Structure 1
């Protein structure tokens, strides 16, 4: 505490970035981190299963409508391709920051391939919080940079001896 009123000191240096569903618990793996990871993993798997069930109903609707096998095959291929691309994009975004312009242009594809994104989220949450490695690397670099900057500042610069 910084004063008699109990006002907390503001921490010096960089602060960890918050992750969806995890907050900053990913930093020290505390405050129910393991339970959150299990819940996120189970939730994303259940959401993917429910999504596949919904897609199955859509497929049955196409069969009932009798629109032709060519259109049905194209729709199935479109969902499969978009899911594969969404999986790849989501998986890659856990290790590097996605380009905002590319992200905006892929928004439709990611919406169609939502099953792939959910499966990528499920698989990553089995080993870590999705995006934890990226955020941890960035945070450690920011802390090292802060330590480097703050350790150079010693004494009063106006008293510095000039040669």
Structure 2
């Protein structure tokens, strides 16, 4: 059991534990532990990586131009990266607010997200400017689990053997 899961008396905490988010751990719960600096770092890092990726794509495109492969292939490459980046951005952005279902699971779109990596990085950068990417989804699930746990704990208070039996209506 990790130290994070134990309280000061060495017992495990009651109730559900928050799910960690990549690069943030569980600092998103109380916005502590350098949360603001982490958000700034993720936003800047993702934006820098997107710029570097776009530069690498430009170098690849210039290589195609130098090789004189033809205008149709050049156009197809541009359209492919633009469409894949747009789809990857949208699906990544949606993934921060709700769990994907059906054909839109991350495994099903892995190749599109790989080709459209610039869109994924831009989504991470823009979302980190507002909150930790995925924080809204994790917070909603965590608060729902806490409310459900509190409700269950409230219904089970007391010793059931000590309760007086309920009278049956006649």
| TM-score interval, smaller chain | over 0.9
Distance, in Å, in 1 between the alignment partners of 2:88 and 2:29 is 27
Q: CA deviation at 1:66?
A: 0.4
Structure 2: unaligned runs, 5 residues or longer: 1-7
**Alignment partner, residue 139 of structure 1:** 142
**Are 1:149 and 2:146 counterparts?**
no
**Are 1:20 and 2:34 counterparts?**
no
SS in 2 for 1:27: coil
Distance, in Å, in 2 between the alignment partners of 1:25 and 1:124 is 16
Query: What do the CA deviations read for 1:109-133 (whole angstroms, capped 9, x no partner)?
Result: 1100000000000000001000000
Distance, in Å, in 1 between the alignment partners of 2:137 and 2:92 is 13
Aligned length: 158
Distance, in Å, in 2 between the alignment partners of 1:7 and 1:27 is 22
Runs of 4+ in structure 1 off by over 4 angstroms are: none
**Alignment partner, residue 95 of structure 2:** 93
1:74-93 mapped onto 2 (5 Å cutoff): 74-93=76-95
Query: What do the CA deviations read for 1:44-102 (whole angstroms, capped 9, x no partner)?
Result: 00000000000001000100110000010001000000000000000000000123763
**Alignment partner, residue 120 of structure 1:** 123
User: Bigger shift: 97-106 or 23-32?
Assistant: 97-106
**Alignment partner, residue 111 of structure 2:** 108
SS in 1 for 2:88: helix
TM-score by length of 1: 0.93
1:59-70 mapped onto 2 (5 Å cutoff): 59-70=61-72
Distance, in Å, in 2 between the alignment partners of 1:8 and 1:161 is 36
TM-score by length of 2: 0.89
Q: CA deviation at 1:158?
A: 2.3
CA RMSD of aligned residues (A): 1.3
SS in 1 for 2:29: helix
